[in-house]
């Protein structure tokens, strides 16, 4: 049958049916009033192109009215889960149903991919005579955490760029945006109680003497959160502790072990000056930060970093050594554990959950902590075996600061992760029991921006590899096939182009 259906991520069940749904001059739409963000998404999609006659208060009848009907039916929860949907495209109309508004939103993203790529373009092309292949899809995700991370600290990207990132995630049914907001190279979130964090911490001096930096005001951060909510994407903020803290310590050097002074750095790497674990004021500042972060970000999880914290300053610091004695700890690794535990407790009291990089396993994991396993899958496996939730993000598969290909002129750094290497990763380790496997929440692609000084560079490193992650975390493992993925991906080039994405023209896909 012509018009192969090229949806990414591949739906769990898909049947192509004879025929096409033809758009009439202007299409009638009914969207369940309980799903206003779905109605908005459909209007955004179709309004400028095919035209929408209006939202109907009643479902469009199925007798050739040619409309689109999207409804919520709570009784389908068992079959479709929290995020699943059923979509029927028939010659007489389009029907989507889900148990939740989120599921219905994903139905719209599937429908979007059935439409010609030109639907994404604001250019006023001739959009008459569009059709969509008839089909029947029943779909639900394999994992609940389908994420993408972005480092806005090594290089800063503005609100519009972050919104475009979220737009693309939603298109591929990715539901978590992990926003890496603090670093040695810049603090990017306004904190009202401690203005120095951005007054000084958001700016660094480049080698040529010019100032580089930027930050998001709280209003802008709330705008991003709302933008995500409108697209079924949860924004998970990351505030790094106890390491990667030079920008904060530049503003507040008294919170370090040595007292400074420090400079927000323009160099890459791991730096020895970190928050002093013996200083109650350091913990106090971070608690103040989390108070404001919690108010801005409604996400259940708050990321506290925890990676790459050298212990050299703590080993020589009288206050840190006093803390070790007072708390009955045996070494600096346990001191880091103690430090992280303070925030696990704090966030838990506020009804949130802490997540951190896999180094938080060293010296003992805080009781409520979830682990983001980046150095490999071992940390994630150990955490799941101990009953902790896990997000897999092993750098050898899903770090997008690595190049696509050896020797290629690319803005990335360090290693190589081909599209196939990325696609091949299965977030579920084979040696976990069924009970332990439940703790694998999902996976995500990570984007560290040392080697990406502008937005086109980010896009080139992220796309299309993020499509591989999207399919990895959504589609049934047994149905995943790289050759089949590549075949479908080919048609997404024009779509990304229409969206203004500078994607990598991977020769395994676009020969």
Least distance CB 380 / ligand ACM (angstroms): 13
Cα-Cα-Cα-Cα dihedral sign, residues 291, 295, 296, 301: positive
The residue among 257 and 486 lying less far from Zn ion, judged by its C-beta, is 257
Point out which residues pair with 20 in neighbouring strands: 133
Q: Which is nearer to Zn ion, 233 or 276 (CB)?
A: 276
Integer CA distances (angstroms), 200 to 205, 293, 375, in order: 11, 19, 32
The listed partner (ligand ACM, Zn ion, none) that binds 319, CB under 5 to 8 Å by sort, is Zn ion
CB atoms within 10 A of CB 266: 15
Q: Long-range pairs for 482-486 at CB < 8 Å and ≥24 separation?
A: 482/420, 482/423, 482/424, 484/10, 485/8, 485/10, 485/423, 486/419
Print burial letters for 230-243: b (CB count within 10 Å at least 16), e (below 16): bbbbbbbbbbbbbb
CB of 504 to ligand ACM, least distance (A): 21
Partner touching 423 among ligand ACM, Zn ion, none, CB below 5 to 8 Å by kind: none
Q: What is the C-alpha to C-alpha distance for residues 336 and 359, in angstroms, rounded to an integer? A: 9
CB nearer to Zn ion: give 249 or 381.
249
Where on the chain is the footprint of ligand ACM (CB under 6 A)? Answer: 307-308, 357, 374
Which lies closer to Zn ion via its Cβ, residue 278 or residue 427? 278
Minimum Å gap between C-beta 61 and ligand ACM is 53
- 171 interface partner picked from Zn ion, ligand ACM, none, CB below 5 to 8 A per type: none
Annotate 148-174 with three-state secondary structure: EEEECCCCCCCHHHHHHHHHHHHHCCC
Least CB distance to Zn ion at residue 318 (A) = 8
| Nearest to ligand ACM of 85, 374 (CB atom) | 374
Question: For residue 117, what is the DSSP state?
Answer: G
Residue 390 contact partner, candidates ligand ACM, Zn ion, none, CB within 5 to 8 A by sort of partner: none
Q: Which of ligand ACM, Zn ion, none does residue 443 bind to, with CB < 5 to 8 Å depending on kind?
A: none
Which secondary structure element, helix H or strand E, spans residue 390, and what is its range? strand 390-392
257 binds, among ligand ACM, Zn ion, none (CB under 5 to 8 A by kind): Zn ion
Say which entry of Zn ion, ligand ACM, none residue 276 contacts (CB below 5 to 8 A, set by partner kind): Zn ion
Of the pair 299, 373, the CB lying nearest ligand ACM is at 373
Q: How far is the CB of 274 from ligand ACM (least distance, A)?
A: 14
Q: Which is nearer to Zn ion, 65 or 319 (CB)?
A: 319
Q: How far is the CB of 342 from Zn ion (least distance, A)?
A: 15
Q: Give min distance, CB of 305 to ligand ACM, in A.
A: 8
Q: Which does 317 bind (CB under 5 to 8 A by kind): Zn ion, ligand ACM, none?
A: Zn ion
Residues that bind Zn ion (CB under 5 A): 257, 276, 278, 317, 319-320
Q: Cβ(135)–Cβ(89) under 8 Å?
A: yes
Identify whether 181 is preceded by a cis peptide bond (ω within 30 of 0): no
Q: Which residue is nearest to ligand ACM (CB)?
A: 307
Contact 409, 391 (CB under 8 A): no
What is the closest distance, in whole angstroms, from the C-beta atom of residue 393 to ligand ACM in the complex?
8
Residue 307 interacts with which of Zn ion, ligand ACM, none, CB < 5 to 8 Å by class: ligand ACM
| Cβ proximity to Zn ion, 215 vs 339, nearer residue | 339
366, 340 contact by CB (below 8 A): yes
Task: Decide whether 156 or 374 has the Cβ nearer to ligand ACM.
Answer: 374
CA separation, residue 50 to residues 20, 35, 66, 136, 495 (Å): 16, 22, 13, 22, 17
The torsion region of residue 489 among left (phi > 0), alpha (psi -120 to 50) and beta comes to alpha
**How far apart are CB 35 and ligand ACM at their closest, in Å?**
36
Cβ distance 243 to 270 under 8 Å?
A: yes
């Amino acid at each position: 049958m012509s018009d192969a259906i090229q949806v990414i991520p591949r739906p769990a069940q898909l049947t192509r049916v004879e025929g096409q749904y033809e758009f009439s001059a202007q299409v009638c739409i009914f969207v369940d009033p309980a799903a206003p963000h779905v109605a908005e998404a459909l209007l955004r999609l179709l309004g400028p192109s095919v035209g929408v006659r209006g939202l109907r208060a009643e479902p469009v009848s199925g007798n050739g009215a040619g409309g689109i009907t999207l409804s919520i039916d709570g009784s389908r929860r068992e079959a479709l889960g929290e995020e699943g949907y059923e979509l029927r495209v028939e010659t007489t109309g389009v029907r989507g149903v889900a148990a939740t508004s989120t599921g219905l939103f994903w139905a719209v993203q599937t429908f979007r991919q059935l439409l010609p790529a030109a639907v994404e373009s604001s250019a006023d092309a001739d959009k008459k005579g569009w059709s969509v292949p008839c089909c029947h899809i029943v779909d639900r995700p394999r994992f609940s955490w389908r994420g993408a991370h972005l480092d806005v600290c090594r290089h800063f990207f503005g609100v519009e760029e972050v919104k475009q990132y979220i737009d693309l995630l939603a298109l591929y049914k990715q539901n978590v945006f992990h926003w890496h907001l603090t670093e040695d190279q810049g603090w990017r979130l306004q904190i009202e109680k401690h203005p120095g964090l951005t007054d000084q911490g958001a700016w660094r001096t480049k080698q040529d003497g010019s100032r580089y930096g930027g930050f998001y005001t709280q209003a802008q951060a709330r705008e991003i959160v709302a933008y995500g909510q409108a697209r079924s994407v949860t924004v998970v903020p990351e505030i790094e502790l106890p390491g990667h803290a030079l920008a904060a310590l530049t503003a507040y050097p008294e919170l370090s072990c040595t007292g400074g002074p420090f400079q927000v750095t323009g160099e890459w790497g791991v730096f020895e000056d970190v928050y002093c674990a013996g200083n109650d004021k350091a913990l106090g500042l971070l608690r103040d930060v989390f108070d404001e972060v919690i108010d801005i970000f409604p996400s259940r999880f708050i990321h506290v970093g925890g990676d790459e914290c050298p212990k050299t300053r703590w080993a020589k610091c009288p206050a840190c050594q006093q803390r070790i004695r007072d708390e009955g700890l045996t070494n600096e690794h346990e001191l880091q554990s103690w430090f992280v535990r303070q925030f696990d407790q704090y966030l838990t009291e506020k009804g949130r959950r802490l997540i951190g990089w896999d180094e938080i396993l060293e010296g003992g994991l805080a009781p409520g902590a979830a682990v983001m396993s980046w150095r490999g899958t071992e940390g994630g496996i150990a955490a799941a075996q101990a009953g902790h939730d896990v997000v897999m993000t092993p750098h050898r598969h899903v770090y997008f600061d690595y190049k696509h290909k050896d020797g290629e002129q690319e803005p990335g750094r360090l290693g190589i992760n081909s599209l196939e290497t990325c696609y091949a990763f299965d977030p579920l380790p084979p040696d976990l029991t069924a009970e332990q496997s439940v703790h694998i929440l999902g996976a995500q692609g990570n984007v560290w921006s040392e080697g990406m000084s502008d937005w086109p560079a980010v896009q080139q490193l992220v796309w299309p590899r993020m499509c591989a992650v999207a399919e990895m975390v959504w589609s049934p493992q047994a149905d995943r096939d790289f050759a089949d993925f590549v075949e479908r991906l080919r048609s997404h080039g024009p779509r990304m182009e229409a969206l203004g994405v500078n994607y990598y023209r991977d020769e395994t896909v676009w020969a």
